[in-house]
Amino acid sequence: MKAIRVSELGGPEVLRCEELPDPVPKSGEALVRVEASGVNFIDVYHRTGLYKMEVPFTLGQEGAGTVEAVGPDVSGVCPGDRVAWASVAGSYATKAAGPAAKLVKLPSGVSAENGAAVMLQGMTAHYLTNSTYPLKPGDTCLVHAAAGGVGLLLCQIAKLRGARVIGTVGSKEKAELARGAGADEAIDYTESDFQAEVKRLTGGKGVQVVYDGVGKAVFSKSLDCLAPRGMMVTFGNASGPVPAIEPLLLSQKGSLFLTRPILAHHTATREELEKRAGDLFTWIAAGKLRVHIGARFPLERAADAHRALEGRKTTGKVLLIP
């Protein structure tokens, strides 16, 4: 099998496509022939060492494909099943072995590419809007990177929940994508100060919640976009980690709430995993949630996929096709 390996931490150039023996599924594991792998910023964090991994390792956390074999003590999936997953290490490969309990069956109305495109980013958008700050009619949310993989899904789910959506983007083209996903307003931060625009658009009141996967570059101004008792949700570090702050600052800016959630804590049980993935698949099959795949790269060009993602040259989901 082929796999993208990291033997030393660093830039995209450290990604190497190598030949490895096919994995043998252990007890509780399934072996899957990968048909599409999702590219996410968490992969960049693993590659650079921001999130620690012991080298060498096979990169990737998300994908979809067909089960080829199962190890002992596996129930719920069997060879021939179409499945998708998130948080399964080693997904940048032609084959991957991982816990069967983390695999979710794909319904007939959802392709492998769409399955791979929504497991990590889609379930992230799901827990952000349904659990971290459960949006309701009358709420206004600010979505940073609204034309990105999480952003486009987040805008759509926020609208399904009846909220008003203000998104930030980096170009006119991305603004159109965000509006097409349901954003009521799309602020091009290359032309306008997003903090001033948010205050203008809300009549000075601010928003109930900020969903921020960008991090360092927007964090400080995002706090000033919140209404009193609003919630700052920082869930990613695309521009770098958020600096430390004094808790007193939150009271000074309006008794604000600050949280840093991760997907693993929101799919900790099989029931929760199936509920979040099931909602996404149902919406996709019904045409209520559109998946925008902005770029597909051959597995061997994983380094190019990372360069495009980090260079903010992508929209929607980036996939590797083995």
The model's pTM:
0.93
What pLDDT is stored for residue 275 in this prediction?
97
Q: Is the pLDDT of residue 312 over 90?
A: no
Q: Is the pLDDT of residue 133 over 90?
A: yes
Q: What is the layout of strands, in order, in the sheet containing 207-212? A: 185-188, 164-169, 140-143, 207-212, 226-234, 257-259
Structure tokens at 204: 């000075």
- Residue 258: phi, psi to the nearest 5? -130, 130
Q: pLDDT tens across 191-232, in order?
A: 999 999 999 999 999 999 999 999 999 999 999 999 999 999
Give the pLDDT mean for 49-77.
Answer: 96
Q: What top-level class would CATH report for the domain 2-119+267-321?
A: alpha beta
**Fold matches, 2-119+267-321 and 137-260:** no
CB-CB contact of 174 with 192 (8 Å): no
CA pair distance 115, 39, nearest whole angstrom: 13
Give the pLDDT mean for 71-93.
Answer: 96
What pLDDT is stored for residue 48 in this prediction?
96
Q: pLDDT tens across 38-60, in order?
A: 999 999 999 999 999 999 999 99
Q: Report the SS3 class of residue 215.
A: coil
CATH number of 137-260: 3.40.50.720
Which helix (H) or strand (E) segment is 128 a member of?
none
Domain positions in the chain are 2-119+267-321, 137-260
CA pair distance 226, 214, nearest whole angstrom: 17
What pLDDT is stored for residue 285 in this prediction?
94
Average model confidence (pLDDT) for the chain? Answer: 97
